[in-house]
Amino acid sequence: MNIAPHLPMLLLVARVLLVCMFPFSAIDKVLHWNGALAQANSSWLPGGPVLLVLAMIAEVATPICIVAGWHADFAALVLAAFCVATALLYHPFWKPGDFWAQGDSVARNHFWDFTKNLGLAGGLLLVALGAGFTGA
């Protein structure tokens, strides 16, 4: 099968799928401000409300740039850094000590969120390197 004629559309779909969760995450922060603030305050970084507002701006603005192709490389780098930072700050799977426990595990839940964030960062680095725009 020759996908070359469909490449521009497929690359657009790939960019949309890569970033579609972020605007919804920003909306969730608005709708559930107190919970989001509690999470923001759970790291060693000060200024939870400011961090939340900056996160919401990043979660709305960078996906738009990536999908539209406007400064997509820079936007993808910003969003990749955001994903790595949130993985390290808010999903420390190594801390709870119940990773190997039977049944529910806080550490395993954090592990999957941590690895998801790293996977997203990898995809965003590909966008920053130019993948996803050939022929688009």
pLDDT digits (tens, 9 = 90+) for 77-115: 999 999 999 999 999 999 988 989 998 999 999 999 999
Asked which of 5-9, 26-30, 65-69 is least confident by mean pLDDT, the reply is 5-9
pLDDT digits (tens, 9 = 90+) for 24-39: 999 999 999 999 999 9
Q: What pTM did the predictor assign?
A: 0.90
- Secondary structure of the chain as H, E, C letters: CCCHHHHHHHHHHHHHHHHCHHHHHHHHHHHCHHHHHHHHCCCCCCCHHHHHHHHHHHHHHHHHHHHHCCCHHHHHHHHHHHHHHHHHHHCCCCCCCCCCCCCCCHHHHHHHHHHHHHHHHHHHHHHHCCCCCCCC
pLDDT band at 52 (very low <50, low <70, confident <90, very high): very high
